[in-house]
Structure 1
Amino acid sequence: MDAIDDLSRWMMTEGRCCGDPVKVVSHFCTTLIEAGVPLWRVNIGQRFANPLLIAWGVVWTPESTESYDVTHDVMLTDSYVGSSFEYILAHRRPLHKNLRGLDPEADHISYHEFAEAGGTDYYATLLYYGDGSLHGCTFVTQSDSGFTAENLEMIEASLPGLSCALEPVTMRKSSRSLLRTYLGDGPSDAVWNGSIKRGELTALDAVVMFTDLRGFTALSDSASEEDVFETLNTYFDVVVQAVEEAGGDVLKFMGDGILSIFSGAGGRSRADQCRQAAQAAQKALAGLAAVNGARAATGHPPLAIGIGINAGRVSYGNIGSPGRLDFTVLGAAVNLASRIEGLTKSTGHSVLASASVAAAAPDLFESCGRYNVRGVSTPVEVFFLRGDAT
């Protein structure tokens, strides 16, 4: 087993430090093959601590090595229910299965798919991490003799080294994924890199977009909690997808309000940022129209939103107590975006922007007059996004 000892040393040194799961799994599989284990397909699955993703993993074949993500929804489908991953995690023991002579009714569809592709034998087993979490890996061969007892002994002997290499990768991916889920791409990178400490602010020129759901108070008073949460999640999904597809970051959910930012990252100009925000607003309205079509079919009232867009200097960073921080964006530009959004309730337009935004994208916006805005001493001229009158 000298080859396995060498593999374990590599995993605990170079593999652990490289931070590349594809490289780790590729080296793991090729070394086992060179040691005589007839691998054809290997799947190393890692569980996530994340409200959106439940797992990630790496699939190796002789042709390629690729990573993948698994959402919580997949766990409710036939692809997981009854699978080897479900079995080994539930029973905490390996599973060895001959892929010849499968039962068309009782055996999981994955076994049949591997058998149809030429697989002859299947082995699923566990990876154990230092935090007590369990992770799964599966091995398939096309060898006529299947996996021998010696093959399985070599696989099991190599797993502690593989765990040593992949556990820090999994921990980092989980942490970064959580940051991104709650903060968005740009802010999460800054927090991860340690560039933003409590009380430290970073100033930048940006376009701020504030979105609000109409009639939320009435909905909360009249609908069940389940309906309220489902409606909010549907609305959030539409707006977040629109913002991210347009290149922005959603920074905060405030009740039914959503604060988003379009920064100058990547050398984007003010005009680029304003057009991104306008595109996000258009996408959000289009997405909401599709949602309302489905709601009408089920007898639910339509949803409406208001969007305020402003451009200017903002500061973002961590605020709070030494033991509890919140990441946010502050500044007059943020306040004005919120005030402008409030004007959508009385102007007949779903999307309104400030003069600074309209000046950067004059073909997209048209003036709809001056209005008194709380906190501003003189009337503010606002502009509607063409084609979005309500």
Structure 2
Amino acid sequence: MNVHATPQIKGYGIDVQPLSGEITVRRNDVVIAKTKNAKVMYETRLPPTIYVPRDDVLVDLSAPSALKTFCPFKGTARYRDILLTGEQIENSVWAYERPLPESKEIKGYVAFMPKAYTEIDLGENTLRDPDDGNISGPLVDWLMRGASTLTTPEDFTRALAEKMLEHGIAISRLGILAWSLHPLIAGKHYIWEKGEEQISTFAPTYEIHDHPSFTNSPLRHVSNGLGGVRQRLTDDHPENSFPIMEDLRAKGATDYVAMPIPFSDGRTNVLTLTSDHPDGFTTANLGLVFECSAVIGRFYEVFMQRENAQSLLETYVGKRSGARVLGGEIRRGDGDEIDAAIMFCDLRGSTRLEEQLGRGAYITLLNTFFETVSGIIHDHGGEVLKFIGDAVLAVFPADEDARSACDQALKSAMQIVEQLSAPCEDEVGVACDCAIGLAFGRVTYGNIGSRERLDFTVIGQAANIAARLGDYGKTIGERIVVSQDILPSCSQAKDLGDVTLHNVSRPVRCHAVQTSKRP
């Protein structure tokens, strides 16, 4: 007799049916399992999967491996190795040890990786593949066509939520946590809530990893590769209870899902869905999202890649320079000639400080110095181009107002000296001293270097003069030395006369600038 196991699925869904007679699972000549209680699971647009009782497996299996996968209507699958004489077949068996209610019929059952790992003799059973083997539907069609016009993660998040509602998925809240590559920000968390016009965007710092709101949340659980979370919030005794679920339940939520969204670099991000429908999510609802989750993940990966590129460029070459590189100025020679005030700020006594403090404490001091100097420069409209050893090179572009650029550079220099002269309260407990040179002139602002290694910087006499003025200030005991064109006409700065500087062809008229605080 030939027994047909035919799926009975409308829309996206799963259907578990018993198989007749004896089912045998083999690896070459080795019988791995033999059972008369096998089941077949049909899932929309996927090949049928054979499940056999765990007790009918005849070979040893390893402890669960690190691999986990999640399905929002089956649960978290754990994988094991098949252990044979002289052979260990990695991650060749999986089981939903705590299946969700929609898949309760496979509790206590295991499935085997097909074909390449094992052969399954179905005996008298014949399986029929489900119809509609190609992924299609309103949500995936929109993702493949209309969604490509959206240019920000906020717009995409809003449109994604609206499309889900449009196609019958009763969501009241949608969130995506995407990790980033940023020196200060751990990632971005975008949240859409029904009835709210704006997307809420959070950019937590790395301290989030130790904060209770994260450590006791589904976001940490999923991000750490522990599988996904599905919890009906109407249950009196939920298996997976987190504080966020209680908050959502108090607002009328009935169902919650947190599923992993892997990026191509291996990082696990998190998509969360909350429903306020009395019956929560259906399998068809979650199946629609689940089969599109990889595409959804790629959209967010593209958004985050651009944000990561922008943040890394801002971190390593500066905000203005980073924007220009990201805007296409990437070839050697790309750039402009600009008028700008140039600052060269050098930490004084660095060799002595390193010997006195030791390498670790000196690095801490150096970071404090750089942070102080950089923050003041940014506050006055300047941009740090690079750190050179223990010195800072910065530019204040003149645009249409040379006087303003010079004034901002001078104010920055004076504030840097005053702030570094203040009593030291950091963990090292040692005050910093500096030498600053300022000059104004026309420089080339753009890419220079070799074909394989470029640097976005400024080149020109003003940059050289600024560095030499800082060095000159060290020799005469002055902390701020500037070229004459930096100063306003009414300045009371100390005139140092025409000074001959190393590798500068003509003498430079320069002045020493005092601050209200003297170190």
Measured after TM superposition, the shift of residue 364 of structure 1 is: 5.8
> More helix by proportion, 1 or 2?
1
TM-score normalized by the length of structure 2: 0.66
Which residue in 2 is equivalent to 1:294? 425
Check if 1:316 corresponds to 2:445.
yes
Residue type of the alignment partner of 1:375: N
Which residue in 1 is equivalent to 2:454? 325
SS at match of 1:252: strand
Check if 1:190 corresponds to 2:319.
no
Unaligned runs of 5+ in 1: none
Check if 1:369 corresponds to 2:496.
yes
- The one-character-per-residue Cα deviations of 1:186-216 (angstroms, maximum 9, x if unpaired) are 2112222223521445211111111111221
Indicate if the aligned counterparts of 1:366 and 1:386 stay in contact, CA closer than 8 A: no
Measured after TM superposition, the shift of residue 148 of structure 1 is: 4.1
Check if 1:160 corresponds to 2:294.
yes
Which residue in 2 is equivalent to 1:53? 185
Give the Cα–Cα distance (whole angstroms) in 1 for the partners of residues 278 and 149 of structure 2.
Answer: 37
Which residue in 1 is equivalent to 2:336? 202
Residue type of the alignment partner of 1:243: I
> More strand by proportion, 1 or 2?
2
Residue type of the alignment partner of 1:219: L
TM-score normalized by the length of structure 1: 0.86
- The alignment's C-alpha RMSD in Å is 3.0
SS at match of 2:429: coil
Give the Cα–Cα distance (whole angstroms) in 1 for the partners of residues 280 and 367 of structure 2.
Answer: 48
Give the Cα–Cα distance (whole angstroms) in 1 for the partners of residues 309 and 209 of structure 2.
Answer: 21
Question: 2:357 aligned to 223, 231, 250, which one?
Answer: 223
Indicate if the aligned counterparts of 1:16 and 1:168 stay in contact, CA closer than 8 A: no
Alignment of 1:1-390 (within 5 A): 5-62=137-194, 63=196, 64-91=198-225, 93-99=227-233, 108-265=242-399, 267=400, 269-285=401-417, 287-288=419-420, 292-295=423-426, 300-358=429-487, 361-363=488-490, 366-370=493-497, 371-376=499-504, 377-378=506-507, 380-390=509-519
- The one-character-per-residue Cα deviations of 1:46-79 (angstroms, maximum 9, x if unpaired) are 2223444332232212312133333333333333
Q: 1:289 to 1:141 in 2, by over 3 A?
A: farther
Q: Which moved more, 1:94-103 or 1:32-41?
A: 94-103
Give the Cα–Cα distance (whole angstroms) in 2 for the partners of residues 289 and 78 of structure 1.
Answer: 39
Q: Which moved more, 1:203-212 or 1:123-132?
A: 123-132
Give % identity.
26
Indicate if the aligned counterparts of 2:421 and 2:517 stay in contact, CA closer than 8 A: no
Q: 1:4 to 1:263 in 2, by over 3 A?
A: farther
Measured after TM superposition, the shift of residue 333 of structure 1 is: 0.3
SS at match of 1:333: helix
Unaligned runs of 5+ in 2: 1-10, 13-134
SS at match of 1:40: strand
Give the Cα–Cα distance (whole angstroms) in 2 for the partners of residues 38 and 364 of structure 1.
Answer: 69
SS at match of 1:293: coil
Indicate if the aligned counterparts of 1:11 and 1:164 stay in contact, CA closer than 8 A: no
How many residue pairs get aligned? The number is 381
Which residue in 1 is equivalent to 2:131? none
Q: 1:357 to 1:4 in 2, by over 3 A?
A: farther
Give the Cα–Cα distance (whole angstroms) in 2 for the partners of residues 287 and 149 of structure 1.
Answer: 62
Give the Cα–Cα distance (whole angstroms) in 2 for the partners of residues 354 and 258 of structure 1.
Answer: 18
Q: 1:386 to 1:294 in 2, by over 3 A?
A: closer
- The one-character-per-residue Cα deviations of 1:9-39 (angstroms, maximum 9, x if unpaired) are 2222332343221111111101212333332
Indicate if the aligned counterparts of 1:318 and 1:325 stay in contact, CA closer than 8 A: yes
Measured after TM superposition, the shift of residue 318 of structure 1 is: 2.3
SS at match of 1:79: helix
Indicate if the aligned counterparts of 2:447 and 2:455 stay in contact, CA closer than 8 A: yes
